[in-house]
Amino acid sequence: MNPAPSPFVRAALDAAAAVPPSGIAWLDAARRENLDTLAETGLPEARNEAWKYTSLRALSQRAFALADAGVAKSVVVDPSRYALPGVDGARIVFVDGVFRADLSSLDAGEGVSLSPLGVALAAQPEPLRFALANRYRRGAADAFAHLNAALAVDGVVLHVAGNATIEKPLHIVHVSSGTQADTAWHVRVLIDVGQGARADVVEHFVSQGDAAQLGTVVTDVVVRDGAVLGMVLLQDASATTTLVRRSHVRVEAAAAATVHALELGGALVRHELTTELVGDGARFDSRGVFALSGRQHTDTQLEVRHNARDTASDALWRGIADGRARGVFRGAIVVAEGADGSDASLSNKNLLLSAQAEIDTKPELEIYADEVKAAHGATIGQLDERSLFYLRSRGIPLAQARSLLTLAFCRAALESLPNEALREHLGDLLVGHLPTSPSEALA
Amino acid sequence: MHMLTIDNLHARVEGKEILKGLSLAVKPGEVHAIMGPNGAGKSTLANVLSGRDGYEVTDGSVNFDGRDLLALEPEERAAVGMFLAFQYPVEIPGVNNTYFLRAALNAQRKFRGEEELDSMRFLKLVREKLKVMQISDDLLHRAVNEGFSGGEKKRNEIFQMAVLEPKLAILDETDSGLDIDALKQVAEGVNALRSPDRSFLIVTHYQRLLDYIEPDFVHVLAGGRIVESGDKSLALKLEEQGYAWLADHHPELRKADLAGAPA
């Protein structure tokens, strides 16, 4: 037991006191248990290997009240903030962590059930019991997962029935209203893609203003036998946002999951993305880019666990840091004993655009099986002077040449996204974060 | 009126003086070949003129079309009409060749206060130039030089030249690494671009390129200076006799300055 809880933890305890009981005994007990664990352990410290490159010292001194639900329900939000080309299916919108029925359209077609967590709990709490009460027991999670489990009263429950298809990409939107400074919101996401089903989901973080907020999202995804899930994670939050996400993806036999992530905004951003390939022939592909400037700090922790035979994973991530920004990437591949025939590859390449920027990348490979193909690599470099000179010698000004080469560097991570309109939009967003703007350059 | 006037140019690379008082004047429409033994400073000259980092000019001047060339950034030199065909064109994965060329042309036009070309007009221009250069338009859809053969890279350089229409083109050892067919194609491209107001500076170690691109003047660069100038017969003499005979005319040249003989 820590002698004195940090201001961060104290504020969380105060916030919890204001959360009304759910009326579901096991849920209230689980919330209490998670809160107690948070109070006991506090935020992870630097000696914790998983947080070695991301210091929480400053965060632990900040106090976030719970975002006011009344304000979140009534604040005017401009839908154009989160409109995305190529994403015109069902939509579920949270403002400061509160579900907004007026901005959402939950009809995702036959065989697809999309509901806010609050509604799902009121209707039938029991199927959610494992995820909400037992998933993150003591020791199986860190402070942020406990915080989320204690305080997330709303979220997403998406269920795609066996052999059903989500025809149009489903849009999960987290909006920071910009009106509630120094508040926190917490959202829980549960996605179940049934056997042989197909689903496309876009999770999207945007801000409407600069009010400093903390957001936490804990996501559990199951992709059942033979199902196919495509996920896009677009994070374009304000530069004052602290965002901590933890996603767990379970891929069963002959199923495939793909993630494309673009991290652009935020002050302090952490995403732990763990995928377990639990069925024979399961596959996971991940592609990601982070583009940082100013004093942004983004930390991606990717872990892919091959637990079954003939599983495959391919990870290709790119990082760019300008100004005094800091990027952290840990990419781990773990091939369990008996997971023969696994094929895993991971590549993380990074560009430092300024002398003050820093990127820490750490590829890890743990292999306990015999017949395995595994490759991993990580690099950190600068823009190639020869290429820059070549472009300039043809008349392209230095800033444009830098931007062109930076975009080209990220190309490999974005090009495999099949949704063309969305892919182009992501390219444009990325370009918007670079010095000048040549978007057609994506060949 | 000269288009390019290089006067008493001294330049250093990594603290070592390579150019030691080089002077040369080029009029519009002229083709000048610069030959010389290895290490004479041929590529240094091309790099200094195009503005590459790492080359320090310690004395002398370069006037291009009435401007102080050395005061301009590389992209500005391009915009005022200078073009360097690289000895080793750079592969740039992820950047589309067509996009790159349009960005380059429009950046130059913008610098000169001219209207930028939209993609329709640009494509029309490009198709005309492809025809002249006898290059397939497959090249347009690829990334800049990525996976190109040696010959394709050099032809791509000449194709870029055709689109950008410079006043002065510097060919830096363009013949290196080319077989005879590729060499002929490159030379044909260059010849198609010769005009009364476009000049060429052809930097080469070997005489054979000059069989296909006929120069008006041939200069020998040795020991960091132009030590001999003449017409195309000078190139033939170098081909036959090598560089060693120059020592008789220029006792100040050290043996090492003339060591690299043409094949």
Residue B263 lies in a domain: no
Q: How many CB pairs under 8 A join A and B?
A: 95
Q: What does pTM read for this prediction? A: 0.85
Q: Which two tokens stand for residue A390?
A: 């070549």
Q: Which two tokens stand for residue A61?
A: 């001194």
pLDDT tens digits along A328-351? 999 999 999 999 999 999 999 999
- What was the pLDDT predicted at A140? 65
Question: How many CB atoms neighbour CB A63 within 10 A?
Answer: 16
Q: How many Å apart are CA A386 and CA A388, to the nearest integer?
A: 5
What share of chain A has pLDDT > 90, as a percent?
A: 87
pLDDT tens digits along A205-227? 999 988 999 999 999 999 999 99
**Domain extent for B12:** 4-258
Q: Which residues of B touch A390 (CB under 8 A)?
A: 86, 89-90, 92, 144
- What was the pLDDT predicted at A442? 39
Please report which confidence band the pLDDT of residue B245 belongs to, taking 50, 70 and 90 as the band edges: confident
- What was the pLDDT predicted at B135? 78
Please report which confidence band the pLDDT of residue B239 belongs to, taking 50, 70 and 90 as the band edges: confident
CB neighbour list of residue A383: distance below 8 Å, 6 or more residues apart: A351, A353, A402, A405, A406
Choice among A139-148, A149-158, A255-264 with the minimum mean pLDDT = A139-148
Q: What is chain A's alpha carbon radius of gyration, rounded to the nearest angstrom?
A: 21
Is the pLDDT at B75 greater than 50? The verdict is yes
- Using a CB–CB cutoff of 8 Å, tell me whether B141 touches chain A: yes
Contact: B94, A400; criterion CB under 8 Å: no
Is the pLDDT at A135 greater than 80? The verdict is no
Contact: A391, B108; criterion CB under 8 Å: no
Q: Which residues of B touch A397 (CB under 8 A)?
A: 73, 75, 107
Our count of domains for chain B comes to 1
CATH code, B39? 3.40.50.300
- Using a CB–CB cutoff of 8 Å, tell me whether B140 touches chain A: no
Residue B86 lies in a domain: yes
- ipTM associated with this complex: 0.95
In a 3-state reduction of DSSP, which class is residue B34?
strand
Residue B130 lies in a domain: yes
Question: Which among A385, A395, A404 has CB closest to B95?
Answer: A404
Residues 106-125 of B with CB under 8 A from A: 107-108, 111
Q: How many Å apart are CA B104 and CA A101, to the nearest integer?
A: 50
Is the pLDDT at A29 greater than 50? The verdict is yes
Q: Which two tokens stand for residue A94?
A: 């949270």
**Nearest-neighbour CA in chain B from A334: distance (Å):** 31
Choice among B68-82, B128-142, B149-163, B181-195 with the minimum mean pLDDT = B128-142
**Nearest-neighbour CA in chain A from B74: distance (Å):** 5
Residue B245 lies in a domain: yes
